[in-house]
Amino acid sequence: MKTDMESVEQGEFSDLSHAPNQGKNLGRSRKNLQKDSKNAPAKDAGNSAAPSPNSLNWLLSILLADLGEIKDFGGTVRFFDDPNGLIIQLPNVAICQNHKMMHFGITCPMC
C-alpha cells in the first residue's frame, strides 16, 4: 500500500516500513548524482581513479532504493545510528554458510 508522505522528511524514520517510497524520484536522482559523480584524477595513466564522495553518495542512494524495494515486497528494514556508522537490520534474513548468499527465512533456497 503506497502512501503519499512527501511532505514528511525522510530523516525522521528509523524503519523503512514507515518511510515514503523514494522509487518514483530515483531516476531523476540517479541522473543528477551520476552527472556529479566524477572520479578523482589518477596519479598516472596506469592506475584507476579513486571514487569521489559524490560517487559514494550515488551508490548509497541506490542502496536506499533497493532497501525500499525490499520493504515493498514485504521485508522489514530498520536503521540504527551507531558511533561506528549506520546499522541496517534485515530481520528474518540470513547468510548461507555454504553458498555465501543472503536469503529470506530459515532455509537457503540453494540447499
Give residue 10's pLDDT.
42
0.75 exceeded by pTM: no
In this structure, how many other beta carbons lie within 10 angstroms of the beta carbon of residue 1? 3
Could you read off the pLDDT of 52-101 as tens digits, one per residue?
888 999 999 999 999 999 999 999 999 999 999 999 999 999 999 999 99
Backbone angles phi, psi at 93, to 5 degrees: -115, 135
**Which residues make Cβ contacts (< 8 Å) with residue 63, sequence separation at least 6?**
none
Question: Helix 53-72 crosses helix 26-36 at what angle (to 10 degrees)?
Answer: 160
**Residue boundaries of the structural domains of the chain:** 14-104
Could you read off the pLDDT of 40-65 as tens digits, one per residue?
555 555 556 677 888 999 999 999 99
76 in Cβ contact with 92 (< 8 Å): yes
Which cell numbers hold the place of 49? 581513479
Position with higher pLDDT, 50 vs 22: 50
